[in-house]
């Protein structure tokens, strides 16, 4: 964990420095009212020049995380909260090339790096793979045309009504 921010209202966090190629923003939101659906948390990730990089939001109570692929650098968060208590954690995602052998000591599966997404060529078979299901492009395209035609008919009928 690099930094943690807690609160129940709007705030702008202090800056934090990221040395890896990305960082993870994890948040936990609870409602400050009796209705969990009332809670809202919005996070704007900004760089050191105050330029917005990305936005993250949560409607209702819950937890989630998001990877920001705009590093290294200095960043801060603009937090907008309504009927919510929150904890936001920022984690630097450094790769093994940065000297930590791909393990930051957390219990969340280690670090995130582009190297972790490489596919070993030996895992791809030299034969045709079986069809695993799902609609083909023709089916999806035909369904899209049907919906488009239905919208067209509804619009025409509005102009023809007295």
- Give the model's pLDDT for residue 82: 92
- Give the model's pLDDT for residue 22: 95
Burial class (CB in 10 A: 0-12, 13-18, 19+), 88: buried
CATH topology of domain 3-115: Jelly Rolls (2.60.120)
- Give the model's pLDDT for residue 37: 81
Cα–Cα distance measured from residue 87 to residue 30, given in angstroms and rounded to the nearest whole number? 9
CB 43 within 8 A of CB 78: yes
CB count within 10 Å of CB 121 equals 6
- Give the model's pLDDT for residue 162: 55
- Give the model's pLDDT for residue 34: 83
**Phi and psi for 48 in degrees, rounded to 5?**
-65, -20
As a residue count, the chain comes to 162
Spans of the chain below 50 pLDDT:
96-116, 139
Phi-psi map region of 48: left, alpha, beta (phi>0 left; psi -120 to 50 alpha): alpha
Using the Cα atoms of residue 100, residue 45, residue 116 and residue 19 in order, give the sign of their dihedral.
negative
Which segments of 34-161 does DSSP mark as H helices, in order? 137-160
Q: Where along the chain do its domains lie? A: 3-115
- Give the model's pLDDT for residue 38: 84
């Amino acid at each position: 964990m690099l930094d943690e921010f807690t609160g129940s209202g709007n705030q702008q966090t202090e800056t934090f420095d990221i040395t890896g190629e990305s960082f993870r923003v994890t948040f936990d939101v609870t409602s400050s009212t009796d209705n969990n659906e009332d809670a809202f948390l919005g996070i704007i990730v900004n760089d050191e020049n105050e330029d917005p990089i990305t936005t993250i939001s949560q409607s209702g109570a819950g937890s989630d995380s998001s990877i920001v692929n705009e590093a290294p650098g200095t960043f801060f968060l603009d937090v907008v909260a309504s009927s919510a208590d929150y904890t936001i954690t920022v984690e630097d995602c450094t790769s093994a090339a940065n000297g930590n052998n791909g393990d930051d000591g957390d219990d969340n599966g280690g670090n995130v790096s582009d190297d972790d997404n490489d596919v070993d060529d030996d895992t791809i078979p030299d034969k045709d793979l079986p069809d695993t299901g799902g609609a083909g492009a023709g089916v999806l395209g035909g369904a899209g045309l049907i919906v488009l035609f239905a919208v067209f008919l509804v619009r025409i009928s509005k102009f023809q009504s007295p």
